[in-house]
Amino acid sequence: MKKYSETHEWLEIKDGVAYVGISRHAAQELGEIVFVQLPETGAAVSAGQPACEIESVKAVAEVNSPVDGTVTAVNTALEDAPELLSEDGDAWIFAVEPSSAAAGLMTEEEYKEFLG
Amino acid sequence: MSDYISLTDKEREEMLSVLGVGSVRELFADIPAELGRLKVRLSQGRTQKETEELVSSFAARNKVYKSVFLGAGCYRHYIPAAVGAIVGREEFLTAYTPYQPEISQGILQAMFEYQTMMCSLTGMDVSNASHYSGATAAAEACLMCLGKTRTIGVYDNVNPDTLETVATYARARGVKVVVLPSSGGKAVPYEGEADAVYMESPNYFGLVEDVTAVADAVHIAGGKLVVGCNPVSLALFRTPAELGADIAVGDGQPLGLPMSFGGPSFGFITAKKEFTRKLPGRIVGETADAEGRRAFVLTLQAREQHIRREKASSNICSNQAHAALTASVYLSLMGSAGLRAVAETCAANAHYLADKLSEAGAPRVHKGEFFHEFVTDVKGKAAEIVCALDRQDILGGLVLSPDRILWCCTETVSKSDMDKVAETVGRVLK
Amino acid sequence: MKTVFEKSSAEIKGMEMPAPQVEKHIFAEGLLRDGLRLPELSEQEVARHYTALSKRAFGVDDGFYPLGSCTMKYNPKLHEKLAALAGFADVHPLTRADKIQGSLALIDTLNSYLCGITGMDAFTTQPCAGAHGEFLGLLLIKAYHASRGDGARTKVIIPDSAHGTNPASAVMAGFEVVHAGTDASGDIDLDALRALVGADTAALMLTNPSTLGLFEKNVLKIAEIVHDAGGLMYYDGANLNAVAGVVRPGDMGFDVVHLNLHKTFSAPHGGGGPGAGPVGCKKALVPFLPNPRIADTDEGFRFNYGKRSAGRVSAFYGNFGVLVKALAYIVTLGGEGIAQASETAVLNANYLREKMSLHYPIDTSRPCMHEFVVSMKKLKDDTGVTANDVAKALIDRGIHPPTIYFPLIVEEAMMFEPTETETKEGLDRAAEAFGEIVRLAYADPAAVKRAPVTTPIGRPDEAAAARHPVLVG
């Protein structure tokens, strides 16, 4: 079950690992994504703070981590195929080992309502 | 003075009536009254003929020498007539930055070809579409390497304007600049910490450096090596990439651009692939349109200031595109053999003059291989020598101190000019 | 089209150079490179290649070029001839001062004209472009505050309508950027500004007229607020073409300005450069200008080296060839001519806007200056046709598109700057073309989205270019 932040990232916990991606809405707003500056494995991230950047042809956006923790893995498939983020709202960007529970995130329903 | 305005008085009246205003001044209503009208006191306007006479009179007050032995960052080379004829086409000269690729394919393709030529010369993987000058290219290249030490090392035997420019750019950002020593005119490998080390080969004194030795030391210490080079020399010498440089930069003026009192010229920045997204300024890439036709576009724009604003790595917007185009046309005309011939003649002339000056009592100050510049010891007579040459319509080398002159020979100097220089130096030193 | 490399033939040896008259120098073998890949073509083939490329480009002589914020005015041919005179082009920058009095006098004369036009006390010509000038101008401001022991001034205030170079330059100069809000017409919110300024304010950077093409009415008030807080006022000269000869930045309260000689002063843009971005300042900042400075002495012009310079920002004295063109422009026009050029630029912009407003809702309630911004949001909402689509459709009608998607504070922005040199006929035709495209967008939006169809290529795949960069061929 994905949970969403107000800055349009999602967080999904699978087998104890928290995966982070961006919402379909965010991907659409950005347009064709051309590059993902992945964070480094082992980097500390904080909830609501930028963890990495994604670029479209004529825009650049920061991806905030929805949760405090440490980056344990990055989706290297995005290095060669950043378009996966444009095409598929399910592509994850990085995985985090949370150091505290995620707070203030929305369910899919709530997020839809938030978008209005 | 109204040659450049196309409206007739009648049209002006018609336009004002469309706008429903009595005079143009009404359109300036937002300007506060206290700023008043025009404290600008300039001359009366002139006809084009009068302007030509006036501006030409400035040119007439400069001395144009028959023969030039002065280099130090700006060089007189032979420029084929075709260069000016081609780059003077208005489509190249008067266009803006190619933001609209469909009507700018010519300019975009020329920039792509320029990038290819620069990479070919330096052996690097990627190039931007030009920077302001060799000095600013060096400065921004060093900033591309910034990391945890926030320190940039610059050798003391590089062009002093470049050193000062790198220092200005670095200090503005709170980055420390360490001036690194040379010995016998050549860089001493630096083993201390720095994010970037900047060296030149050939260096300010014309000496060909042992780039690899410096590169090894810099890399062991965890830094990156930026090498400044004269593009004409690259027709002969192993490429900076081959020798271990991470970024190669330089000033492109020797490639078909007149000296023009120091500008416009252009800076080139070429780098290993890993630096692609850190390159400052415009870059052209190849792609295709929907029908699969080859197309060129400005690419990787998300790096740049118009998108990234305060997070951009550089503020550069306008570059020196037309100067870079000029270099591309020059290189296309010369071809590899032509450019090599230029470089070989420069080197041959410089070595001939160095030998002659040595015989005349002004030996070289440094040992080791040099390209087309070298320093001689003139025993306190530098100013006198330059004056004596001036009387013979020869622009002598750069006076570094009363004892030292930095000479340069390009392919434009003749054997008889060089003999005259040596003879004059011999006479003054006697 | 094939690249110059693809047209190359190994059989051709390029231009023949004279053999050296002296013995060839043999370098140590380890120093020499193996091969060198350059184009190998005859002179005619080179001429044809680049002529073919030039036909795939669009310059000011090819048609209307209303690229907002870029001031694409006519570039007089005389200026090219003058810059190419041997007495300028064949002069080495390190020649002794007494042999280059013409160059030094030219720079000095240009500087004094620029002082007259801007109300500044001194200029330097070292910066090679507008952004380069911004960087230097901010360094002057930094040095000024530092000289007063006022190291706490670390912030530069920049309105959100500013060019991207402003914040990028501020960061390069070591400042932190603070954003100032603007209202719908692009004017700075004075109350918000009062709250922003303080002991940490180094400067405020302002483009006036703003990037919306409107004169900042409160400029004197803004200057007072910033000065009262101890900050300085920086004038981005990108839009000087509206007010040159009419009002001076110095009188508006600015302390430092940069000018774009390749915009206001008619030097050609060269497909992206070279430009020139001279920087002027008020007396208090003069000591910090970069070396060398030119001094008019009893013995003629000489170089002067100050001890408090904020530092050199490039080699030599900037893009001298561009300075020659700007000086020629100023002396041809004279004071009255420059004012007339600004007035005509403003007239042309207002006229074009008025004519375009017959076809599409455009607010014409307040006079614009030399340029204006139209939001295509309504068209996009109604038809799906975007500012980019309209731009491409203008290409098919022989018109260079305006600047699009800038300023960022206007959705679907199109920024038109006709300049003073455009003809009335050209303006009328452009307004008609715009109207025709708007009508087509409502009738057949797909037809607009197919544009351009008259160009050598259709819209390129920019995403593919950025995803898998091919940067050399």
Provide the CATH number for the domain around residue B382.
Answer: 3.90.1150.10
Model confidence at C186, pLDDT cuts 50, 70, 90, reads: confident
Tell how strand A50-56 and strand A59-64 pair up. Answer: antiparallel
Q: Which of residues 70-89 of A touch C (CB under 8 A)?
A: 81-83
Choose, out of C8, C296, C332, C368, the residue to mutate when testing the contact with B (most B CBs < 10 Å).
C332
Q: Give the residue from C53, C205, C217 with the most B CB atoms within 10 Å of its CB, the best one to mutate.
A: C53
CA-CA distance, C259 to C280, in Å (whole number)?
8
Examine residue B98 and say whether the peptide bond preceding it is cis (omega within 30 degrees of 0). Answer: no
User: What tens digit of pLDDT does each residue of B141-162 get?
Assistant: 999 999 999 999 999 999 999 9
A40 in contact with chain B, both atoms CB, cutoff 8 A: no
Q: Is the whole model's pTM more than 0.95, yes or no? A: yes
Distance CA C256, CA C258 (A): 7
| CA C220 – CA B13 distance, rounded (Å) | 33
Q: Is B287 on the interface with A (CB under 8 A)?
A: no
CA distance B215 to chain A (A): 27
User: Which segments of B9-74 are extended strands (E)?
Assistant: 67-68
What residue in B sits closest to A30 (Cα-Cα)? Answer: B302
Q: What does the pLDDT look like over C66-125, one tens digit per residue?
A: 999 999 999 999 999 999 999 999 999 999 999 999 999 999 999 999 999 999 999 999
Same domain, B278 and B384: no
Same domain? B271 vs B350: no
Last residue of a domain, one of B278, B312, B330: B330
Beta bridge partners, C215, equal none
Place of tokens 């000869």: C245
Query: Cβ contact (<8 Å) for A32 and C463?
Result: yes
Say how many C-beta atoms besides its own lie within 10 A of residue C300's C-beta: 13
In single-letter form, the type of residue at position C223 comes to A
Distance, CA of B300 to CA of C107 (rounded, Å): 37
The reply to whether B409 and B323 lie within a common domain is no
* pLDDT (0 to 100) of residue B33: 86
**Of B280, B312, B330, which closes a domain?**
B330
CATH number of C78-333, picked from 3.40.50.720, 3.40.640.10, 3.30.70.100, 3.40.50.800: 3.40.640.10
pLDDT band at residue C194 using 50, 70 and 90 as cut-offs:
very high
Within a 13 Å sphere around the CA of C107, how many CA atoms are in the beta-carbon half? 33
Q: Which residue of C has its CA nearest to A84?
A: C467
Through-space distance between the first and last CA atoms of chain B, rounded to whole angstroms? 59
Neighbour subunits, A (≥3 Cβ pairs < 8 A): B, C
Residues 220-259 of C with CB under 8 A from B: 220, 243, 245-248, 251-252
* A21, A22, A23, A28: CA torsion to nearest 10: -140
CATH code for the domain of B89: 3.40.640.10
Write the pLDDT tens digit of every residue in C116-169.
999 999 999 999 999 999 999 999 999 999 999 999 999 999 998 899 999 999
Question: Best of C404, C467, C468, C470 to disrupt the A interface by mutation (most A CBs within 10 Å)?
Answer: C467
For B16-62, how does the pLDDT look when each residue is reduced to its tens digit (9 = 90+)? 999 999 999 999 999 998 886 555 667 889 999 999 999 999 999 99
How big is chain B by its Cα radius of gyration, in Å?
Answer: 25
Residue B210 amino acid letter: D
For C354, the token pair is 């008025």
Peptide bond into B189 cis (omega under 30): no
Same domain, B179 and B234: yes
Nearest CA distance, B143 vs chain A (angstrom)? 19
CB contacts under 8 A, C 384-413 vs B, are 391-392, 395, 400-401, 403, 406
Question: What is the per-residue pLDDT for B39?
Answer: 57
Q: Is residue B16 domain-resident?
A: no
C-alpha separations of C313 from B132, B138, B142, C129, C279 in Å:
10, 11, 14, 11, 12
pLDDT reported for residue B40: 62
B311 touches chain A (CB under 8 A): yes
Tell whether B285 is covered by a domain. yes
B30 touches chain C (CB under 8 A): yes
Neighbouring C-beta atoms of residue A114, cutoff 10 Å: 13
Instruction: Give every CB contact of residue B83 below 8 A, 6+ residues apart in sequence.
Output: B256, B326, B329, B330, B333
Closest-CA residue of B relative to C160 is B309
The pLDDT score that the predictor gives to residue A103 is: 86
Structural domain for B110, as ranges:
81-330
Q: What is the CATH number of domain C343-467?
A: 3.90.1150.10
Closest CA to B370 of B397, B346, B336, B338: B346
**Beta pairing class for C279-281 and C122-124:** antiparallel
Residue A50 forms contact with B (CB below 8 Å): no
Nearest alpha-carbon partner for B386 in B419, B428, B357, B349:
B428
B74 lies in the same domain as B97 = no
User: Is A32 near chain C, with CB under 8 Å?
Assistant: yes
| Whole-number Å distance between alpha carbons of B66 and B55 | 22
Residues B177 and C422: their CA atoms lie apart, in Å, by 50
CB contact set of B274 (below 8 Å; sequence gap of 6+) = none
> Along the 430 residues of chain B, how does pLDDT read in single tens digits?
578 999 999 999 999 999 999 999 999 999 998 886 555 667 889 999 999 999 999 999 999 999 999 999 999 999 999 999 999 999 999 999 999 999 999 999 999 999 999 999 999 999 999 999 999 999 999 999 999 999 999 999 999 999 999 999 999 999 999 999 999 999 999 999 999 999 999 999 999 999 999 999 999 999 999 999 999 999 999 999 999 999 999 999 999 999 999 999 999 999 999 999 999 999 999 999 999 999 999 999 988 999 899 999 899 999 999 999 999 999 999 999 999 999 999 999 999 999 999 999 999 999 999 999 999 999 999 999 999 999 999 999 999 999 999 999 999 999 999 999 999 999 999 9
Assess contact for B124 and C278: CB atoms under 8 A.
no
From first to last of the 116 residues of chain A, give the pLDDT tens digit: 899 999 999 999 988 889 999 999 999 888 899 999 999 999 999 999 999 999 998 889 999 999 999 999 999 999 999 999 987 668 999 999 998 888 889 999 999 999 98
Q: Name the minimum distance, in Å, from the CA of A58 to any CA of chain B.
A: 6
State whether B406 and B322 are in the same domain: no
Question: B315 with B365, same domain?
Answer: no
Q: Look at residues B268, B297, B330 and tell me which one is the last residue of a structural domain.
A: B330
**H-helix segments, B267-320:** 305-308
B31 lies in some domain: no
The reply to whether residue C20 touches residue B395, judged by beta carbons under 8 angstroms, is no
Q: Is the pLDDT of residue C391 over 60?
A: yes
Residue of C16, C460, C466 with shortest CB distance to B288: C460
CA distance to partner chain A, nearest, from residue B272 (Å)? 18
Instruction: Quote the tokens at residue B42.
Output: 């300039």
pLDDT digits 0-9 by tens, B358-398? 999 999 999 999 999 999 999 999 999 999 999 999 999 99
Residues C128, C275 contacting (CB under 8 angstroms): yes
Determine whether the interchain pair A35/B302 forms a contact, defined as Cβ–Cβ distance below 8 Å: yes
Chosen from B100, B279, B283, B307 to mutate, greatest number of chain A CBs within 10 A? B307
Q: ipTM score here?
A: 0.97
3-state secondary structure of B286: strand
Phi, psi of C217 (to 5 degrees): -60, -30
Q: What's the structural domain count of chain B?
A: 2
In angstroms, the separation between the Cα of residue A1 and the nearest Cα of chain C is 31
* CATH pick for A3-100 out of 2.40.50.100, 3.30.365.10, 3.40.50.2000, 1.10.580.10: 2.40.50.100
What is the pairing mode between strands B196-200 and B224-228? Answer: parallel
Q: Which is nearest to B51 in space by CA: C1, C272, C83, C436?
A: C83
CB-CB under 8 Å, C405 with A32: no
Structural domain boundaries of chain C? 4-54, 78-333, 343-467
**CB nearest A35 (choices: C405, C462, C466):** C466
Looking at the fold, whether B277 and B416 belong to one and the same domain comes out as no
